[in-house]
Structure 1
Amino acid sequence: MNEDKLSELYLLKQDKDRHIGRLVSKTQRFVREIASEFLQAKGYTNFRVGHMVALIHIDLEGSNINNLAHLAGVTKQAMSKLVKELQDEGYVTIEKHPNDARTLIVKLSDKGVNTMLDWKECTQKIEMTFTDVIGSEQLEQLINLLSKITTYYELNSTCISDKAVLNLNLAKPTPTKY
């Protein structure tokens, strides 16, 4: 094998703990672990942090599955599965749309609303944990930087409809259109 490539590979491996993808991935794992522990302590036995992908996007007046899937960046089938799990556990209710019987409207139940408020407390716990490690100023900088990165890539997505929805969401909260 080429000596230059081996040297380059050696340097790559020496610095593996500073690769951005690895750091973001590991941080996400820590966030999930902290959140899971917090939610378990609150009595959420059949709730996964992944369920928040659906709950966080449900409008107060309800949302349809297509919009939820789009906002969460998952397929309609994946969102339908998540919503079914949430319905089975009592976090959401499902109604037929009054003007289109083919469209289902997902709404937060009382249990779902309480879960969202517990999630808010959970995110505060995560932020306090990270503040203990890096301080409040650096945590705020990290949040701002990650927000800039995600917003940039969401706005520069190759999917026109993603841009349109994101632009609407950035401008002001708007009710879900059915």
Structure 2
Amino acid sequence: MEFAPNYELTPLLMLGSRAVIDDLHRHMATLGYDDVRPAHGFAFQRLAPYGATGNELAEFLDITKQAASEMIDYLEKRGYVTRQPNPADKRGKIVTLTERGWGCIRETEAYLTRLEAQWAEIIGPQRMQELRTDLRQLITMANGGTLPHKFRPVW
């Protein structure tokens, strides 16, 4: 697939992101995490380390409260999260990761760490750091001067 040179970077970033996520999920399935979908990984980012309410998760993922509730139900039935009383709101619940949820995060972190180390072997550690710095700067600029606080999956 070829792209016009004046906007090649955008589709390459999207293709790269999708390739990494797909490969990560194939790997995670071999470890027994075959019921986790890409959107769940984004949710885990918000739930770690202290948990979140369903409303906070919906806001972070930029989805409806109903969709967040359905996701929480799905993850709870599979042992990744649990609902606990919210100390700040006796009527509400805080969703926190279980040991299985934390195990999924640790395996994901290990996989992504190995992947980035492989990339650094290919382009060199200095260029890898420059890539991180440049992407952070571009994303910050595109978001009005701050890194985004939402982490919505696009598929």
TM-score (norm 1): 0.69
Residue pair 1:34, 1:126 contacting (<8 A) in 2 also: no
Who is 1:136 aligned against? 125
Quote the Cα distance in structure 2 between the aligned partners of 1:133 and 1:17. Answer: 25
Q: 1:96 to 1:143 in 2, by over 3 A?
A: same
Say which structure, 1 or 2, has more relative contact order (CA 8 Å, 6+ apart).
2
Count residues in correspondence: 148
Q: Which of the two has higher C-alpha Rg?
A: 1
Who is 1:22 aligned against? 11
Return 5+ residue gaps in structure 2 as ranges. Answer: 150-155
TM-score (norm 2): 0.78
Correspondent of 1:94 among 83, 86, 103 = 83
Q: CA deviation at 1:121?
A: 0.3
Deviates further, 137-146 or 22-31: 137-146
Who is 1:7 aligned against? none
Q: Deviations over 1:69-127 (max 9, x none)?
A: 32334443333232222111100001232453542210111111111111110211221
Give the letter for the 2:94 counterpart: I
1:60-71 → structure 2 map (5 Å cutoff):
60-71=49-60
Secondary structure of 1:105's aligned partner: strand
* Deviation beyond 4 Å, 4+ runs, structure 1: none
Residue pair 2:25, 2:34 contacting (<8 A) in 1 also: no
Return 5+ residue gaps in structure 1 as ranges. Answer: 1-12, 167-178
Aligned residues with identical type, % of pairs: 24
Q: 1:108 to 1:135 in 2, by over 3 A?
A: same
Secondary structure of 1:57's aligned partner: helix
Quote the Cα distance in structure 2 between the aligned partners of 1:77 and 1:146. Answer: 33
Q: CA deviation at 1:131?
A: 2.4
Secondary structure of 2:35's aligned partner: coil
The answer to whether residue 80 in structure 2 is matched with residue 84 in structure 1 is: no
Q: 1:14 to 1:55 in 2, by over 3 A?
A: closer
Q: Deviations over 1:26-79 (max 9, x none)?
A: 111111122123212322111123211111111433211222232334443333
Correspondent of 2:41 among 48, 52, 68 = 52
Who is 1:104 aligned against? 93
Residue pair 1:35, 1:49 contacting (<8 A) in 2 also: no
